[in-house]
Amino acid sequence: MTVSIHPAVDGGVKKGSDSFAGGTLVCACQDRPVKVAIKGQIAYNHACGCTKCWKPTGATFSVVAVAPVGNVTVLENGDKLKVVDPSALIQRYACIGCGVHMHGPVEREHAFQGLSFVHPERFQEEGWAEPGFAAFVSSIIESGTDPSEMDGVRGRLKELGLEPYDCLSPGLMDYMATWVAKKNGVLK
Ligand SMILES: N[C@@H](CCC(=O)N[C@@H](CSCO)C(=O)NCC(=O)O)C(=O)O
Ligand SMILES: [Zn+2]
Ligand SMILES: [Zn+2]
């Protein structure tokens, strides 16, 4: 049986469109769905195995990307949004009706400050940039995956073109370390 990663990629990773100019994220509620507008294309889209990112029912990974906070606007039914864990770096605003995380700004002083984490599968439009790697792969064990399944999971991710990492991608890890080095005056 093929290992399931996430419904948006299990059938193959679908390329985004260069002309995607943003759209509207919609939660899963039938009644008064939360709607959030995202201006422009998303960046750093990836599959994430961590326990904190929202995953649809049955998915092993989330699919999550970032957009500048200034490009994110809650359009409708924002009264249903509540921060899941106020102590976390990412302030994940979830719908209290259906549980879908609708946006997750980073407000703290951090390399990611000013970015908001969003789940592009909730766009009502097509064309969002496809995921390019898989992050926090080992973390799926924390939510119950048997360690013996990890070879199969990593193999499937590679087959899908989603290089598996146990933290973020090298590019993002370098970006964060550069930010720290500059903050500490080690790097100009
Ligand atoms: N093993 C932990 C890891 C959680 C974690 O550090 N998640 C990352 C990636 S989230 C999107 O890529 C992170 O940056 N978290 C910050 C935050 O959650 O606020 C686990 O699985 O729980
Ligand atoms: Zn909802
Ligand atoms: Zn995550």
> Which domains are assigned to the chain?
22-183 (3.90.1590.10)
| Residue 53 designated active-site | yes
- The pLDDT of 153-168, averaged and rounded, is 98
Percent of the chain scoring above 70 in pLDDT: 99
Provide the pLDDT for residue 1. Answer: 64
With tokens 């080095």, the residue in question is 181
Helices (H), the chain: 150-159, 170-183
**CB distance 23 to 123 below 8 Å:** yes
| Residue 48 designated active-site | yes
State which of 46, 52, 93, 179 you would mutate to test the pocket of ligand 1, scoring each by most atoms of that ligand within 8 A of its C-beta. Answer: 52
> Mind listing the pLDDT tens digit for each residue in 73-113?
999 999 999 999 999 999 999 999 999 999 999 999 999 99
State which of 6, 44, 48, 50 you would mutate to test the pocket of ligand 1, scoring each by most atoms of that ligand within 8 A of its C-beta. Answer: 50
Length of the chain: 188
Does residue 43 carry a pLDDT above 90? yes
- The pLDDT of 163-174, averaged and rounded, is 98
**CB distance 4 to 58 below 8 Å:** yes
Q: How confident is the model at residue 2 (pLDDT cuts 50, 70, 90)?
A: confident
Average per-residue pLDDT for the chain: 97
